[in-house]
Amino acid sequence: MEKIVSKALDGDSDAEMELFQSLRVRFIYLAKKRLLKSEDAEDIAQEACLTVLEKYRTADFHGNFTPWALKILRNKIGNHLQSKSVQVDREANRWDKRLSSGNTTRPADVDLIRAVVGCLRKLIVAFPRYARALNLAHQGYGTDEICRRLGIKSNNLYVILNRGRSFLKDCLGKET
């Protein structure tokens, strides 16, 4: 990323195009993760990309382009949440989604849920530590608390989680 940025700063228009296409895709993903409405997420990602495009030549980001770009996106998301009180809607939507999940799930999702549940059951038998970490995550604990309760260090937790994830991916037949 830093190489592309330096090329773009040197005036390479292809590098600039590549940089902003790459940023746009990632910004949309990150914005969608924080906002439930995908239209809003795309608008905000677009706005953040434009701000980066306007300012990256003159801004002083001390060689750390990605944290600077991410900060612009976060500020945009924060402003959006503040101005439209989307946070409240988001929480409400999340609860609505949970409450109605039994009735309104699409048939394709039901298959996916069944597959995930089946694989998780196998995983719980084969790898109970992943299941314990997952159960604590469901209860709303962060990494520090999960580590404390499992009596492990954070690096061990990340290894356990990533192994569990690999197992799930294999079980679900996802490409690696």
Partner 1 sequence: MPKGVCNNPDVGKYLHAYELEVLGEAETELFEAHLLECDYCFSETRKFADEADLIRSDETVINDVSEKVGDIETSGQNSVWKKMLRRLWPDTPLVFKPAAALFLILLLVYPAYIGIISRMDSDIKPVSSISLMPSRAGDAVEYSLAGRNDIVLCFIVQDIVSGGRYILELTGEDGEMILYDDNFGGVDVYGVGRIFIPSGGIETGSYSLKLTIADEKAAQNMEIYNFRLIK
Give the whole-angstrom CA distance, residue 103 versus residue 117.
18
Q: How many CB atoms lie within 10 A of CB 176?
A: 5
Task: Indicate whether 112 belongs to the interface with partner 1 (CB under 8 A).
Answer: yes
Task: Indicate whether 151 belongs to the interface with partner 1 (CB under 8 A).
Answer: no
Exposed, middle or buried, 51 (CB in 10 Å: 0-12/13-18/19+)?
middle
The structure tokens 């039994």 sit at 102
Residue from 145, 164, 141, 163 nearest 154 by CA: 145
CB nearer to partner 1: give 88 or 113.
Answer: 113
Task: Indicate whether 137 belongs to the interface with partner 1 (CB under 8 A).
Answer: yes
Contact between residue 45 and residue 24 where contact means Cβ atoms under 8 Å apart: yes
Touching partner 1, residues 46-105 (CB under 8 A): 66-67, 69-70, 74, 94, 97-98, 101-102
Take residue 57 and report the two structure tokens written for it: 């030549």
Touching partner 1, residues 12-31 (CB under 8 A): 22-23, 26, 29-30
Rounded to the nearest whole angstrom, what is the least distance from the CB of residue 68 to partner 1 in the complex? Answer: 9
Residues that bind partner 1 (CB under 8 A): 1-2, 22-23, 26, 29-30, 66-67, 69-70, 74, 94, 97-98, 101-102, 109, 112-113, 116-117, 120-121, 124, 128, 131-132, 134-139, 141-144, 146, 149, 155, 157-159, 161-162, 164-165, 168-169, 172, 174-175
